[in-house]
Structure 1
Amino acid sequence: MSAQAMIRQATGLNVSRAEADRAVRQRMGRIGEVNRDHYLATLSPHELAELVELLVVPESWMFRDPEAFKAAVSYVQARLAYDPRPARILSLPCAGGEEPYSMAMALFDAGVAPASFAIDAIDLSSACVARARAGVYGRNAFRSNDLTFRDRYFTMAGDDRYRINDPVRAQVRIAQGNLLAMDTSLYAGYYDVIFCRNLLIYFDKPTTADAIARLSAMLDDDGVLLAGYAEVPSFTRQGFTPLPHRYAFALKKDRAPAPRYASLQQPGEPAPPRVQAERRTAPRPAVPPHPAAAPAPRPHRAAATTRRPAPALQPPPGATPAPDGGIGNARALADRGQLTQAAAACQAILAAAPHSPAAAEAYFILGMLREQAHDVKEAEQFWRRCIYLQPDHYEALCHLALLAEQQGDMDGAATLKARARRIYQRSNAARIES
């Protein structure tokens, strides 16, 4: 069996042959092995885990994509107003703990009592789990303009490093494991909020469907799932519906019976009045088994440095178009659900400046609009024009990779995903150097 096949079988990660071979060469060099066939034939579980670590790029930071945390806090507040039992939250994969700790801090800032929520954090990478448990972070974990949260929830640990305070740490239970190996029947309907962002684009189509089914099984019928930008289409094709939290990429189950909380409250609105919670058809376990498995590996927490709104996610009423009349206006029109006007704005940009950076973005938005209209073939043509003008357009590459998988072109999908991964890694390296 090839290294690529072994990694996919063990973890679900759909890496390219070149990436798998590079990791094998690195490991062989570290342990002094010179015979590749012998190395693969005698690959132990421990050595396979070490191999996977080389493919995992656990990139994250505190309050990454802040609108997702605002939407989750809003939901938790609404849920607690209807049902006082503690909210249960899952971060999967959790990288080095930045995401679950950010959620805990956001809830504390919103005045939610420690007894009113608990967070499970799971990751395949042993190095990620160790870092999350240590709770010590350098400057790259703090990238937002407002770092006042660091003064409230961290203490200096020397050399420009900060340690998360114990009250925040106490809210997060950390474990190592694999989503694809979890017995989800033990967690049926257990979680109110699940963060699973920027993971699925590294799976093939069957693995993506399996992962989403597992997440759906663990999410309460009234729960909210926070996904990555490019993953929303995959979730909507597998039984989820976007919620109108702008830039949060929040979803609920579309087969769930009349959710009581998921669509009640927009960020910034007051919580609804408390009422008696309805009895569930099946009681949830008071405490789940300690997670012995977590998400399939995170090649990285891929996300664009600039978030672009997906037309499928409608903003709250009252949003206004950007005043520049250009690509910003086209985005705003798509955000508001004015799809015909958004398409016309994009076509006007293409007519005026067909080879400009704005034209690449116009093609991307047109692709999103055509996808929403279920015209996949034309959506693909627009996204290919986008990357012709802007080869490093991350979101267009992600969407083309998803389409390639749907069409059974696994090699093409792997190539596109590898390109997207390299773009993200380069942009992240540039940020670190600066």
Structure 2
Amino acid sequence: MTPAQSLLRSATGLNLSKAVVDRAIKNRMEQTGIGDAETYLQQMQPEELTALVELVVVPESWFYRDPQAFYAMSEFLRARLAADSGRLARILSIPCAGGEEPYSMAMVLTDAGIPPDNFMIDAFDISPTCVARAKSGIYGRNAFRAQDLSFRERHFSSAGDGDYRINDSIRKQVRFKQGNLLEFDLSARSGYYDVVFCRNLLIYFDKPTTKAAIAKLEALLADDGQLFAGYAEVPSFCQHGFAPLQYNQAFGLQKEAAAPHKPPRAARPPAKQVAPRAVKPAPTPAPVSRSRATPSRVAPAARPATDATAGANPAPAVDLLAEARRLADLGDIKAAERHCRDHLAQHPEAAEAYFILGLLNELTNKPKMAEDYWKRCIYLQPDHYEALCHLALLAEANQDASGAAALKARAARIYKRQQAS
């Protein structure tokens, strides 16, 4: 890992490829007039670090994205208020990107008849630009991708030039702040939130950072609260003290201690860490989204290499796919790819090798090749949950809403079966 990668990882927690970081630094060097990368890093000030972070954190969100989670939240809070009408429900959205998620929460709760005095939403994002955009409350057409746009008639007014401004009655229900989950001070917020939305953040973290982030979220969430994650992230939460809720396609979770007792299941082998997805930098200075690291199934071990010399002991077995993941985490994409291909030479139908090749091609900004490899993976292993999740995210990025929905539903069915087995 280069010094620049380490710097940005310390600042954001994100696993960023060398290519992404180098492009961002080159952009900032052109903006600041500094001609040498080493000098640029040595002269780094907090304000410049913030500007650099903006180039590697591109938010991708829209109103009512994966709406089942919002309706599950509404049902949960309505039941609570039925038992205690004076209760204030505290809700957290992190990361909140440009505000589409927390504003969606406020609209859903308002439409469900929950009085404004009974809920308050805190929304945090690492990007000051995202927070400023959210506070402005003005959105273009790209933020409205839901099939049913009736909410826009109820809660927005025209801002001219095809833009829309969210109504003040919704804006006042959300408090936006700049902040990093990994740096949260928990002293005043332990068990503070009844509902936490943290969707599509952990997919950008490596295994240790994921564990640290989940520990923060667990501390923030009330013992009887509910958390909603991205569909690719549910397995990570279930490995660290959470249990899934039975809302269809909402990807809700609760603390394991609060879950109804179930008979113990046979232990399953721990999932291995896979290479993270790279964050794609914006072509011009603009706020950015977060990178993907999901647990994968344990791949079959590679055949052991043997010494052809008579009487020699066999060489120890080499797990080529485990080594490919390790090399990818270190940024050595070519060597990681070579290990995958060596594994495929021995095991031509190894779905996991194609899955990792897909991740490697996504890291190098080749989404079409990544898609082809993931399709090969699910052809060979139709229940490969992680490949389906990655294909769904790719479909979303290509604005293929129906394709993404079908892939998410398929992944959800597979995950439910895996949990039941």
- Short-chain TM bin: 0.5 to 0.7
> Structure 2 counterpart of 1:230, which letter?
A
3-state DSSP of counterpart to 1:186: coil
Partner of 2:231: 229
Partner of 1:79: 80
Deviation, structure 1 residue 430? 12
**Compared with structure 1, are the counterparts of its residues 302 and 141 closer, same or farther at alpha carbon in structure 2 (3 Å cutoff)?**
farther
The answer to whether structure 1 residue 300 and structure 2 residue 300 are counterparts is no
3-state DSSP of counterpart to 2:195: strand
Partner of 2:270: none
**Compared with structure 1, are the counterparts of its residues 395 and 55 closer, same or farther at alpha carbon in structure 2 (3 Å cutoff)?**
farther
Quick one: which of 394, 398, 401 aligns to 1:427? 398
Partner of 2:222: 220
3-state DSSP of counterpart to 1:174: strand
Cα distance in 2 between the residues matched to 1:430 and 1:94: 21
Deviation, structure 1 residue 232? 0.5
Cα distance in 1 between the residues matched to 2:57 and 2:191: 29
Kept after mapping to 1: 8 A contact 2:14/2:291 = no
Cα distance in 1 between the residues matched to 2:187 and 2:240: 19
Partner of 2:94: 92
Quick one: which of 179, 182, 197 aligns to 1:180? 182
Partner of 2:381: none
> Structure 2 counterpart of 1:19, which letter?
V
Cα distance in 2 between the residues matched to 1:79 and 1:396: 42
Partner of 1:134: 136
Partner of 1:410: none
> Structure 2 counterpart of 1:41, which letter?
Q
Deviation, structure 1 residue 31? 1.4
Aligned residues with identical type, % of pairs: 54
Cα distance in 2 between the residues matched to 1:420 and 1:178: 28
**Compared with structure 1, are the counterparts of its residues 130 and 62 closer, same or farther at alpha carbon in structure 2 (3 Å cutoff)?**
same
**Compared with structure 1, are the counterparts of its residues 109 and 191 closer, same or farther at alpha carbon in structure 2 (3 Å cutoff)?**
same
Partner of 1:43: 44
The answer to whether structure 1 residue 255 and structure 2 residue 244 are counterparts is no
- Matched residue pairs, number? 301
Deviation, structure 1 residue 168? 0.2
Partner of 2:117: 115
Correspondence 1:252-331 to 2 at 5 A? 252-256=254-258, 300=289
**Compared with structure 1, are the counterparts of its residues 38 and 424 closer, same or farther at alpha carbon in structure 2 (3 Å cutoff)?**
farther
Cα distance in 2 between the residues matched to 1:118 and 1:67: 20
1:257-306 Cα deviation digits (max 9, x unpaired): 769xxxxxxxxxxxxxxxxxxxxxxxxxxxxxxxxxxxxxx952689xxx
Which structure 1 segments of 5+ residues have no match?
260-297, 304-377, 401-415
Cα distance in 2 between the residues matched to 1:395 and 1:258: 39
3-state DSSP of counterpart to 2:246: coil
Cα distance in 1 between the residues matched to 2:137 and 2:22: 33
Partner of 1:13: 14
Deviation, structure 1 residue 83? 2.8
Deviation, structure 1 residue 14? 1.0
Partner of 1:208: 210
Cα distance in 2 between the residues matched to 1:186 and 1:248: 29
Deviation, structure 1 residue 72? 0.8
> Structure 2 counterpart of 1:35, which letter?
D
Kept after mapping to 2: 8 A contact 1:188/1:218 = yes
Deviation, structure 1 residue 201? 1.2
Kept after mapping to 2: 8 A contact 1:57/1:300 = yes
Kept after mapping to 1: 8 A contact 2:137/2:166 = yes
> Structure 2 counterpart of 1:93, which letter?
P
**Compared with structure 1, are the counterparts of its residues 235 and 299 closer, same or farther at alpha carbon in structure 2 (3 Å cutoff)?**
farther
Cα distance in 2 between the residues matched to 1:421 and 1:51: 29
Deviation, structure 1 residue 119? 0.4
3-state DSSP of counterpart to 1:185: coil
Deviation, structure 1 residue 144? 1.2
Cα distance in 2 between the residues matched to 1:215 and 1:6: 24
Kept after mapping to 2: 8 A contact 1:155/1:162 = yes
Partner of 1:246: 248
Cα distance in 1 between the residues matched to 2:252 and 2:372: 20
Cα distance in 1 between the residues matched to 2:241 and 2:128: 32
1:124-147 Cα deviation digits (max 9, x unpaired): 101100000000000001011211
Correspondence 1:405-416 to 2 at 5 A? none
Deviation, structure 1 residue 86? 1.1
3-state DSSP of counterpart to 2:233: helix
Which structure 2 segments of 5+ residues have no match?
262-286, 293-346, 359-367, 379-386, 403-421
Kept after mapping to 2: 8 A contact 1:154/1:162 = yes
3-state DSSP of counterpart to 2:38: helix
Partner of 1:158: 160
> Structure 2 counterpart of 1:48, which letter?
L
RMSD of aligned alpha carbons: 3.3
The answer to whether structure 1 residue 2 and structure 2 residue 19 are counterparts is no
TM-score by length of 1: 0.64
Deviation, structure 1 residue 18? 1.1
> Structure 1 counterpart of 2:107, which letter?
M
Cα distance in 2 between the residues matched to 1:244 and 1:57: 32
3-state DSSP of counterpart to 2:148: coil
**Compared with structure 1, are the counterparts of its residues 142 and 125 closer, same or farther at alpha carbon in structure 2 (3 Å cutoff)?**
same
1:318-371 Cα deviation digits (max 9, x unpaired): xxxxxxxxxxxxxxxxxxxxxxxxxxxxxxxxxxxxxxxxxxxxxxxxxxxxxx
Cα distance in 1 between the residues matched to 2:101 and 2:9: 26
Deviation, structure 1 residue 186? 1.4
